[in-house]
Amino acid sequence: MDKELKKNLALVTDTLKEANLYYHACHVLGYDQQTIAPKKAREAQGETSAFLGNKGFQLVKSKKFIKAAEYLYENRADLGKYDSVLAKSLHREYQRVKRITPKMQHEFSLIYNKAFVDWLNAKEASDFSIFEKSLGKVREIELKQIALEKVHRNTTYDALLDHYERGMTENILDETFGTCKERLLPLLEKIKKSKKQIRRDFMSRTVPEEAQRRMAKYLLNLICFDFERGAITTTEHPFMDDIAVDDIRVTTHYYEDNFASSMFSVLHEGGHALFGQNTPRVHYKHFIEGEKTLGMHESVSRFYENRIGRSKAFIDLVYDKCKEIFPEVFADASAEEFYEAVNVVNPSLIRIEADEFTYTFHIIIRYELEKMIINEGVKISDLPRLWADKYEEYLGVRPDSDKTGVLQDVHWSGGFGYFPTYALGNMYNAMYINKMKEKYDINKLISGGNFDIISDWMTKHVYKKADRLEPQEWIRDITGRAFTPKDYLDYLEEKFGAIYGLS
């Protein structure tokens, strides 16, 4: 590496170190805002976070930084494998925010923050009108930011998708979700007509919060979550925050009449956390730890939540511990009944509580609504009705309140384009699980509690290159095949066909 390249690389890395101090503070404040901050303090706390985030933004918008970063991009062939990824990332981000000034960025942050606070209040009151104006402003600034980007996309919504899952397009999703509907809707009708009776009465028995906390800690320890580098608390809408290399935090929500909700949210967010805790430390050193996409991340969270957590082998493994911590629940319920209960197909209203089979339709509904919001300019005031209509169309259920309908998810307060990554995550992990099966009997590993072996395989094959490869390259690198929803749909048909005794 010549002297000029070294000088520019040093300027870039020194600037990023300083900017990351501000971003680190923003993450801590954001985590606090969503967990223990008093209700009346949330908006002011968000304003502080927006201020600090803008300080970091100003650093990476300076002429010196941009000039140095673009020099790295132009000479990326002479950089090492990690710094060349950084150069490409900085160039891509520069193209995206080139015409966004620090003043504009601060204004956008305040709008997102206000939308988050309004969403919390609206959900608590089950009143969409409290959130309606803020959501309209979120759409306005999303469209404004896309207009300012110097990147061509076939549709406006494609630009938003690219922020979460690089290279993903409406055309790919339309085809993918079309295949899902073609294969899953007929099977859903067969399941509805099945004579199979699955017992669920014990699933709503009262479980104190303290017992659920014990279970949460047990589950995180079981899947190899490192409590010396992570923490857990509660929130309205469970999430994980990758605050720093040794500070990965997860959240959950305890319901005394639905103990399984926390169990599976802990496995889901714990999966996200394992991705963070097993990201190579060298990625943090070279500032590329945030290059993994949301589809990649969701593949891991839903791997632990569903492919492991709802498997027969896992339920058999944790059944005795469940009896120990929740004795009243399992006094008369067997492991087989528990397995069937956590896999019952029951079209319902709440996405994060949805069964594994119908979950894809919750995503399709949001995807279709987002396209209407962004590409078609649908009236924001019409969303509660449109939401309810979609649920009736696909799942045969209709929300009786805004809280169980359009207000149930936090995501739109921060923009549009995230939701499809959940479904993509399911499809990615179905592909790499089939690859893992070439070496291991996964059910035997699970039943034996050998999560260290699973974690090691995931680290070597799924986590190791995630920040360095584009999504389609990444899944091909793991599996040797191009992306396809087939593995996931085959899995759903086989699993639920067996549970419901379908041919």
Query: Catalytic residues, which ones?
Result: 269
Place of tokens 């132009």: 74
As given in the structure block, the two tokens for residue 113 are 């923050």
Q: How far apart are CA 242 and CA 277, in angstroms?
A: 9
Give φ, ψ of 344 to 5 degrees: -65, 140
Q: How far apart are CA 329 and CA 338, in angstroms?
A: 10
DSSP 220-276: HHHTT--TTSEEEEE-SS--EEEEETTEEEEEE---TT-HHHHHHHHHHHHHHHHHH
Q: How far apart are CA 331 and CA 347, in angstroms?
A: 28
**Which amino acid, 289?**
E
As given in the structure block, the two tokens for residue 107 are 């204004």
Q: How far apart are CA 386 and CA 369, in angstroms?
A: 8
Q: Which of 58, 59, 66 is nearest to 94 (CA)?
A: 66
**Which amino acid, 379?**
K
Contact 117, 137 (CB under 8 A): no
Instruction: Return the number of other C-beta atoms located less than 10 Å from residue 501's C-beta.
Output: 9
Instruction: Return the number of other C-beta atoms located less than 10 Å from residue 414's C-beta.
Output: 14
CA separation, residue 208 to residues 211, 320, 327, 392, 395 (Å): 6, 18, 12, 34, 32
As given in the structure block, the two tokens for residue 77 are 């062939």
